[in-house]
């Protein structure tokens, strides 16, 4: 039998085999149990977290002829087998990236009208749905709004903010979470035991899970890559680092130690050795940043630092948290432009030398700036200090600016918040800082998304960071308004206000065009009037 990659071999076949998405699987099982199936679902989340797998599993459970008592598919009936083999007439899985034209969608819509060949339901899964053209979306809208009773659509996307609001509003939305490291570790250990794979060091599954960055598929793909360089199904740190082009724990620890103690010769030597070994520079930068982040995160847990092998805790005896913050922030900014420079390997070397010599460089600046970052001693034993400029004055910021800020890190959350708006202006001088967001009745689904415990907590943290206040001094709440309240308050959502502003700007542009002297002269010469003006997306 041909080799099958782990991501495909271990694709979940039952709801309880899905990793890290219990909030989705439990809801879908309840929908089947109560026979309350929606006509359209939207699955959103980063790649490899289970969107397509759950869509396929959900479709099997809907169409299964011998469903189990826990509402899992039996996997043995003709309906289940036809989906697995790809021969089902009543289940279609479409790639939105390669079937994104209006003709493709029209063909699908024509097929939707026919009754299923067996069972009560036909299921259509459109993966990467954000890749559909605008014309294709418009063709699909009517069917999504009023589909035949036997049809169910499951749309999956990594970029929900690229979808039309009219599409999102017609679907039940499920946001898939990045899978936690501990869940990925347990999954790797289960697979390793079943496949007869041995980890020589206990932290190797943790490293693989961290490299997967919340994606089950990426984690298993990396695991497959490492297994390709491992002998006798035995994974060692050496096989992991060689397969992935990463620095080994010992070399990385030596480099981080040299940077901290100010040994520029040792830091340069280790870095040059890693470059000679053809280490991937981007991965090395990630490893260095991750090392300093762990020092900050574990500053009060020396046992954890020692166990993880990041650094010997005694190395940090005269390093303050503020100094670690400065090193981390400096490297985050500088590594970004270093990777796009003409000679990244040389630029990164100079950057590492700079932070290694930070106390020597900055000790002569503290008299000018006066803001001490953290005390320490140079190799000569002379007390020095690292310094930073004085923090700028606190800025007055608005709700619109916050949504723009949030859109950079969490576009889906920002898009949901835009379907509501503030019920009272934000007074940045008030303590506690009160932020009260209302949602109209038709936006209940967006409020429910924001009210999810994890999402709500993240929004509150973002608000505290953006408005520069302690999270304990921040009052954030949401409210679903009644129809009467929206009318009494003349309430408009951020989306509605943005649409009005856009229409106002477009009308102003039309008027400028109509009043243009050249247009007036053309109307006079041809004895005609402008009938239609088509505006480009952006005004030159």
CATH number at residue 152: 3.40.50.300
In a domain, 158, yes or no: yes
303/236 same-domain check: no
> What's the token pair of residue 45?
């989340």
14/153 same-domain check: yes
- What local confidence, expressed as pLDDT, does residue 97 receive? 77
Sequence-distant (6+) residues with CB within 8 A of 327 are 259, 292, 355, 358
Q: Do strands 198-199 and 172-175 pair parallel, antiparallel, or not at all (unpaired)?
A: unpaired
Sort residue 42 into left (φ over 0), alpha (ψ -120 to 50) or beta. Answer: beta
In a domain, 500, yes or no: no
On the question of a cis peptide bond just before residue 24, with omega within 30 degrees of 0, the verdict is no
Distances 44 to 79, 332, 403, 456 between C-alpha atoms, Å: 26, 29, 20, 18
107/155 same-domain check: yes
Sequence-distant (6+) residues with CB within 8 A of 444 are 480
In a domain, 72, yes or no: yes
222/349 same-domain check: no
- What local confidence, expressed as pLDDT, does residue 188 receive? 92
32/168 same-domain check: yes
On whether the CB atoms of residues 127 and 99 are closer than 8 A, the answer is: no
Q: The tokens 């979808």 sit on which residue?
A: 163
- What local confidence, expressed as pLDDT, does residue 305 receive? 67
Task: Using DSSP, state whether 168 is helix, strand or coil.
Answer: helix
Distance of alpha carbon 471 from its chain centroid, rounded?
Answer: 23
316/416 same-domain check: no
Sort residue 492 into left (φ over 0), alpha (ψ -120 to 50) or beta. Answer: beta
263/215 same-domain check: no
Domain that holds residue 194: 181-244
Looking up residue 324, the CATH number of its domain turns out to be: 1.20.272.10
In a domain, 274, yes or no: yes
Looking up residue 217, the CATH number of its domain turns out to be: 1.10.8.60
Domain boundary among 244, 270, 293: 244
> What's the token pair of residue 108?
């699908």
Distances 148 to 286, 293, 340, 524 between C-alpha atoms, Å: 50, 53, 52, 54
- What local confidence, expressed as pLDDT, does residue 364 receive? 55
- What local confidence, expressed as pLDDT, does residue 88 receive? 84
Q: What pTM was computed for the model?
A: 0.61
Helices (H) and strands (E) in the chain, counts: 26, 12
Beta bridge partners of 91: 123
In a domain, 503, yes or no: no
273/240 same-domain check: no
Distance of alpha carbon 261 from its chain centroid, rounded?
Answer: 36
168/262 same-domain check: no
Number of domains in the chain: 4
On whether the CB atoms of residues 43 and 51 are closer than 8 A, the answer is: yes
In a domain, 538, yes or no: no
- What local confidence, expressed as pLDDT, does residue 370 receive? 44
Q: What is the rounded radius of gyration, in angstroms, for the C-alpha atoms of the chain? A: 29
130/222 same-domain check: no
19/163 same-domain check: yes
In a domain, 540, yes or no: no
Q: Which of 175, 190, 182, 223 is CA-nearest to residue 21?
A: 175
Domain boundary among 175, 194, 221: 175
Per-residue pLDDT of the chain (540 residues; tens, 9 = 90+): 567 888 888 899 999 899 989 999 999 999 999 888 989 899 999 889 989 999 999 999 999 989 899 899 998 998 898 888 888 888 888 888 777 778 888 888 888 888 988 888 889 998 888 888 888 888 888 888 888 889 899 999 998 888 888 888 888 999 999 999 999 999 999 999 998 999 988 888 988 998 888 899 999 999 988 988 888 888 888 888 888 888 888 888 899 999 988 899 999 999 999 988 888 899 999 999 998 888 888 777 767 766 777 777 787 777 888 888 889 988 998 888 888 888 889 999 999 999 999 888 766 554 444 444 444 444 433 334 444 444 444 456 788 889 988 888 888 888 889 999 998 888 877 778 899 999 999 888 889 989 998 889 999 999 988 888 888 888 999 999 998 888 888 889 988 888 888 888 888 888 888 888 878 877 787 787 887 787 766 543
On whether the CB atoms of residues 249 and 291 are closer than 8 A, the answer is: no
Angstrom distance (rounded) from CA 204 to CA 185: 9
Domain boundary among 120, 154, 175: 175
Neighbours of 211 (CB within 10 A): 19
55/149 same-domain check: yes
In a domain, 510, yes or no: no
Looking up residue 473, the CATH number of its domain turns out to be: 3.30.300
- What local confidence, expressed as pLDDT, does residue 363 receive? 63
């Amino acid at each position: 039998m041909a080799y099958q990659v782990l991501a495909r071999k271990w694709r979940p076949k039952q709801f309880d085999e899905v990793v890290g998405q219990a909030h989705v699987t439990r809801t879908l099982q309840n929908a089947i149990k109560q026979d309350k199936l929606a006509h359209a679902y939207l699955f959103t989340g980063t790649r490899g977290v289970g969107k397509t797998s759950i869509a396929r599993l959900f479709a099997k459970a809907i169409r299964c002829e011998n469903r189990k008592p826990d509402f899992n598919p039996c996997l043995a009936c003709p309906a289940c087998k036809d989906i697995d083999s790809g021969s089902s007439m009543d289940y279609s899985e479409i790639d939105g990236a390669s079937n994104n034209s209006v003709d493709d969608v029209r063909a699908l819509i024509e097929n939707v009208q026919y009754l299923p060949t067996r069972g009560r339901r036909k299921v259509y899964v459109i993966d990467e749905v954000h890749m559909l053209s605008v014309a294709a979306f418009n063709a699909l809208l009517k069917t999504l709004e009023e589909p035949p009773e036997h049809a169910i659509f499951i749309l999956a996307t990594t970029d929900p903010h690229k979808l039309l609001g009219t599409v999102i509003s017609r679907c039940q939305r499920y946001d898939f979470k990045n899978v936690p490291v501990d869940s990925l570790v347990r999954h790797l250990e289960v697979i390793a035991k079943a496949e007869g794979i041995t980890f020589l060091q206990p932290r190797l599954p943790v490293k693989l899970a961290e490299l997967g960055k919340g994606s089950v598929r990426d984690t298993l793909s990396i695991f497959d890559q490492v297994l390709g360089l491992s002998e006798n199904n035995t994974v060692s740190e050496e096989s992991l680092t060689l397969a992935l082009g990463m620095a080994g724990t010992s070399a990385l620890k030596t480099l981080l130690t040299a940077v901290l103690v100010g040994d520029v010769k040792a830091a340069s030597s280790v870095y040059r050795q890693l470059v000679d070994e053809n280490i991937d520079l981007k991965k090395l930068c990630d490893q260095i940043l991750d090392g300093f982040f762990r020092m900050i995160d574990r500053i009060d847990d020396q046992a954890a630092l020692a166990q993880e092998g990041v650094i010997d805790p005694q190395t940090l005896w005269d390093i303050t948290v503020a100094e670690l913050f400065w090193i981390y922030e400096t490297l985050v900014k500088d590594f970004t432009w270093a990777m796009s420079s003409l000679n990244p390997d040389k630029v990164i070397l100079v950057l590492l030398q700079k932070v290694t010599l930070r106390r020597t460089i900055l000790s002569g600046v503290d008299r000018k700036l006066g803001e001490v970052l953290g005390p320490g001693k140079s190799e000569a034993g002379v007390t020095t200090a690292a310094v930073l400029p004085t923090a700028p004055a606190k800025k007055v910021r608005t709700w619109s600016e916050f949504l723009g800020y949030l859109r950079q890190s969490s576009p889906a959350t920002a898009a949901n918040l835009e379907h509501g708006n503030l019920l009272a202006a934000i007074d940045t001088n008030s303590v506690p800082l009160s932020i009260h967001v209302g949602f109209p009745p038709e936006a209940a689904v967006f409020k429910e998304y924001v009210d999810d415990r994890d999402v709500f907590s993240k929004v509150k943290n973002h608000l505290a960071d953006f408005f520069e206040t302690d999270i304990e001094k921040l009052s954030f709440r949401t409210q679903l308004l009644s129809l009467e309240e929206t009318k009494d308050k003349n309430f408009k959502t951020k989306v509605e206000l943005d649409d009005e502003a856009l229409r106002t700007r477009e009308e102003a542009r039309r008027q400028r065009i109509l009043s243009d002297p050249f247009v007036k002269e053309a109307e006079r010469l041809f004895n005609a009037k402008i009938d239609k003006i088509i505006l480009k997306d952006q005004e030159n």
